[in-house]
Amino acid sequence: SVVRTPMIIGNWKMNLDHVQAGQWLLEYAGSNEGWVNRMEASNTMVNRTEIGVLPSFTSLLAIRDMARKTRMTSELYFGAQNVSELDAGAYTGDISAQMLAALDCRYVLVGHSEQRRYHPEDDDTIDQKVRVVLDAGMTPIICIGETKLGRDNGIGIDYALNQLVAAVRLLSAADMCKVIVAYEPVWSIGTGATPEPPVIESALADIRDFINATFGADVAEKVRILYGGSVKPDNASAIIRRYGIDGFLVGGASLDPRQFAKICHRV
Ligand code: PEP
């Protein structure tokens, strides 16, 4: 069976300008050094966690340059928080997938709940965004999750699954293998409230079941599914221990490089 590499992705949201981003990376590299050396010394066969951050567009270049300078390019990947679904042209203020690929972005977040809430983001643009990100050779991280209203009305996971149906409707099975899904209940983002670990486990199992039913067992076995919503160093171990959870999307706790490194070390 396929071993899925665990991953931790930090979503900085609208924080850290390009100077602060460079500083973050320096501090992260410092707090991480001993850990990486220990891992390498103890067992080279270890399935190392894939770690990445999602800075603002304006901080991407600084992160790329600082990662090169500190020789962190294979320790810490990066990507963007959003992308235009269009290729190029008269779309003032938008950023294309090609531009992000040119900056060496590995990931692009698609459909984060804050984009869905504050911008006219709908299922028709999200499926196109997933498409253009893949076409540009990057990895889409598709965010899904129910609101508090949805949960109170008993339509938690169905709501999230409907979002996933819409987001992946332009994809072949081969495309789907490259996608990452992040399950983030909206009521858990930035609130300090998380579902109980068994509830997270069962939500992610429902998502994998959907992928299995739609794209087949081989694909379902390969797709990484992350949990997001108020993950901190304190709760990371209890959640990751559950079955089928491939890692985390971390918002608030990723802004402090030491806190973020702590989460990474617990996975
Ligand atoms: C997020 O924004 O994707 C997120 C998970 O935020 P937080 O960790 O702050 O809840």
SS (HEC) of the chain: CCCCCCEEEEECCCCCCHHHHHHHHHHHHHHHHHHHHHHHHHCCCCCCCEEEEECCHHHHHHHHHHHHHCCCCCCCEEEECCCCCCCCCCCCCCCCHHHHHHCCCCEEEECCHHHHHHCCCCHHHHHHHHHHHHHCCCEEEEEECCCHHHHHCCCHHHHHHHHHHHHCCCCCHHHHCCCEEEECCHHHCCCCCCCCHHHHHHHHHHHHHHHHHHHCHHHHHHCEEEEECCCCHHHHHHHHCCCCCCEEEECHHHCCHHHHHHHHHCC
Specify the residue with its C-alpha closest to ligand 1, atom 2.
251
Residues of the chain with pLDDT under 70: 1, 32-47
Spell out the domain ranges in the chain: 7-265
Distance 41 CA to ligand 1 centre (A): 33
- Give the per-residue pLDDT at 37: 54
Within 6 A (CB) of ligand 1 lie 11, 184, 189-190, 228-231, 249-253
Specify the residue with its C-alpha closest to ligand 1, atom 3.
251
- For 48-81, the pLDDT digits (tens) are 899 999 999 999 999 999 999 999 999 999 999 9
Dihedrals φ, ψ of 12, to 5°? Answer: -80, -10
- Are the beta carbons of 85 and 125 closer than 8 angstroms? yes
ipTM: 0.98
Cα separation values, 222 from 2, 50, 107, 173, 198, Å: 6, 15, 17, 11, 22
* Type of residue at 72: M
Specify the residue with its C-alpha closest to ligand 1, atom 7.
251
- Are the beta carbons of 180 and 141 closer than 8 angstroms? yes
Distance 12 CA to ligand 1 centre (A): 9
CATH H-level, domain 7-265: superfamily = Aldolase class I (3.20.20.70)
Helix pair angle (257-265, 233-240), 10° resolution: 20
Q: How long, in residues, is the chain?
A: 267
Catalytic residues, which ones? Answer: 112, 184
- The Cα–Cα gap between 185 and 141 comes to 15
Distance 248 CA to ligand 1 centre (A): 9
- Are the beta carbons of 51 and 75 closer than 8 angstroms? yes
